[in-house]
Structure 1
Amino acid sequence: MIDMGVLLAFVPAALALNVAPGPDSMYTLKRSVSDGRTAGVAAAAGTSTGCLVHTTAAVLGLSAVLKASALAFTAVKIVGAGYLVYLGVGTFRNGDEFEITPEDTGQTHGESFRQAFTINVLNPKVAVFFLAFLPQFVQPGGSFAVQTFMLGALFGMLGFCYQSILAVFSSRARRTITERERIRNALRYASASVLVGFGIALALEERPGV
């Protein structure tokens, strides 16, 4: 079990980090406005599942490989950056992205989950972050693997709660936003630009410790 004092230190830090804007929350916001609340929650679930992958990698030492190996870090970084740019360009080219469509013609919730999961897993910065952040709260004398996994799961759960709230509130404004073509196009261009911007920023990111 994790000591209450550790939780009191970990939870505020984890919440602050989850609330910080990033490609994960941007994608959840995009899906909520485009396809509704459930699609946004599915994207939030995809991100949280990705956090479990990074947690497992930190426990197994795979994240340390990304931190130590320039080749491995660069390879994952390029793939992740390319995927973000791909999503951004797709958003820019799809004129129907933020139109309200019948439930069976929009993007499926499974697709929202998979794309959010892929965005998170292909970000080496997140992997290295988990490797550096989680061990700070591991207590001596206990199992490193168990404590790390529990902290990572808690981090992902807090992120899911935050992004689900984001999905609910943004989906409520969906019809107001998407009924006006000018606003819809502005939102599409802004979403595309942010996703591409995150992709470029990731591509230019240096390996920690360099």
Structure 2
Amino acid sequence: MLTHWAAAIGVLGLLTVVPGPDMAVVTRRALAAGPGDALRTAGGIASGLLVWGALTAAGLAAVLAASPGAYLGVRLLGAGYLVFLGARTLWRHRRTVAVPVGAGTGSGSPWRTGLAANLLNPKIAVFYTGLLPTLAPPQLPAAWGMALLVLLHSALTLAWLGGYVLLLAKAGPVLQRPRVRGALTWVTGVVLIGFGVVVATSAG
């Protein structure tokens, strides 16, 4: 059982640390409004994983993963949201260069931003209905095993993104430099748009 859990933690950990839209959304929030808002964004992302876990238990995630039309709809919504965030980041690029980190240039609830970004990622549904069940320990009832894995995935995500935010906070003096912050803001906007395009054009 310990070997099975070690393998599950390894797979979940690898999936967590691979850079993706979640990290880009957290970076955007950190540059716009500081580490506090970025941590709340990470909390929204972790909460989104718990929602996906509940949807999986209810069978709704499996329906989404098996329905090309529903999957396409959520995929396009998610892609549009990422492109919107990226475009807004680029639009505010000039302003954010001149405003210190944490000066309140973020807009909307950071927790809701993270939650929406995660819930509009249909690949989580595919992962939770396809790969996650294979990681569940056979010694436990399926529902309990899945619940523990979802909690573990959420905790790993929160810890990883939280650590990333702390690194950004330690780099605060460097990020305060207009050129550095401007370049990071621009790159973050482009990356968000790029992820949106990838999500929109992904075959599955």
Q: Is this a same-fold pair by TM over 0.5?
A: yes
What RMSD, in angstroms, separates the aligned Cα atoms of the two structures? 1.8
The 1:183–1:101 alpha-carbon spacing in structure 2 relative to 1, beyond 3 Å, is closer
Specify the SS of the correspondent of 2:106: coil
Q: Which residue of 1 aligns with 2:194?
A: 197
Unaligned runs of 5+ in 2: none
In structure 1, C-alpha distance between the alignment counterparts of 2:139 and 2:32, rounded to whole Å: 48
How far residue 5 of structure 1 moved from its aligned partner, in angstroms, is 3.0
Specify the SS of the correspondent of 1:21: coil
Specify the SS of the correspondent of 2:96: coil
Map 1:148-187 → 2, pairs under 5 A: 148-180=146-178, 182-187=179-184
2:64–2:70 Cα contact (<8 Å) kept:
yes
How far residue 126 of structure 1 moved from its aligned partner, in angstroms, is 1.4
2:5–2:137 Cα contact (<8 Å) kept:
no
In structure 1, C-alpha distance between the alignment counterparts of 2:73 and 2:199, rounded to whole Å: 12
CA deviation profile, 1:103-127 (whole Å, cap 9, x unmatched)? 5x3336x711111110110010111
Map 1:12-31 → 2, pairs under 5 A: 12-31=10-29
The 1:137–1:172 alpha-carbon spacing in structure 2 relative to 1, beyond 3 Å, is same
- The TM-score with structure 2 as length reference comes to 0.91
2:174–2:180 Cα contact (<8 Å) kept:
no
Q: Which residue of 1 aligns with 2:68?
A: 70
The 1:169–1:9 alpha-carbon spacing in structure 2 relative to 1, beyond 3 Å, is same
In structure 2, C-alpha distance between the alignment counterparts of 1:188 and 1:161, rounded to whole Å: 24
Aligned length: 202
2:34–2:102 Cα contact (<8 Å) kept:
no
1:36–1:174 Cα contact (<8 Å) kept:
no
In structure 1, C-alpha distance between the alignment counterparts of 2:102 and 2:161, rounded to whole Å: 24
Q: Which residue of 2 aligns with 1:107?
A: 106
In structure 1, C-alpha distance between the alignment counterparts of 2:102 and 2:135, rounded to whole Å: 47
**Counterpart code for 2:111:** F
Unaligned runs of 5+ in 1: none
Specify the SS of the correspondent of 1:139: coil
In percent, how many aligned pairs have the same letter? 30
In structure 1, C-alpha distance between the alignment counterparts of 2:134 and 2:48, rounded to whole Å: 21
1:33–1:173 Cα contact (<8 Å) kept:
no
Specify the SS of the correspondent of 1:96: helix
